[in-house]
Amino acid sequence: MGYGRSMCRSIKTLRPPFAEQVTDDDIHAAALQYVRKISGFRAPAGHNAAALGTAVDAVAAPTATLLDHLEVRSALRR
């Protein structure tokens, strides 16, 4: 995919594969990591801060919905 620059492919796991309780902080951290990865900005300039903040909020909402609807059947399968 020709994006013109190379991008780190590692995504840090923000929580275990299954957690009884996922906090708003977990969801916000995941959304922030995603927006930083896509935008290429770790710390945006002041004129971009609002746009990135809006993007984090926009990503956090469907992330929460996804996590609410996931069904974990078994942590170990043999």
Q: What is the pLDDT of residues 5-58, one digit of tens each?
A: 555 566 666 666 667 788 899 899 999 999 999 999 988 899 999 999 999 999
Distance CA 39, CA 48 (A): 10
Its pTM stands at 0.71
